Amino acid sequence: MTKIKVIQVQDECIGCGACESTSPKLFEMRETKAHLKNSHKIKWKGKDAFITETDLINDAKEAVDVCPVTCIHIE
């Protein structure tokens, strides 16, 4: 199965919950921000971010599409 890397720049998240609504297997709301499940912290393009590897490609693409601040990325 193909895996992709999903990256979420936490500081850019506004906590709207759109990612969790469309991709609850990948995201969950905690307090005022969405969190990428099963992730670990990294530096990504000079910013603090979280990364995980997943085979949930369609879920990840939906989360990218619905995020109003484009803080979710796929590599």
Q: Is the dihedral of CA 57, 63, 66, 67 positive or negative?
A: negative
Residue 9 has pLDDT above 90, yes or no: yes
Domain ranges across the chain: 4-74
Token readout for 27 is 């995201």
State pLDDT tens for residues 13-70. 999 999 999 999 999 999 899 999 999 999 999 999 999 999 999 999 999 999 999 9
Closest CA to 3 of 59, 62, 48, 47: 59
- HSE (CB half, 13 Å, CA atoms) of 34? 28
CATH domain 4-74 topology: Alpha-Beta Plaits (3.30.70)
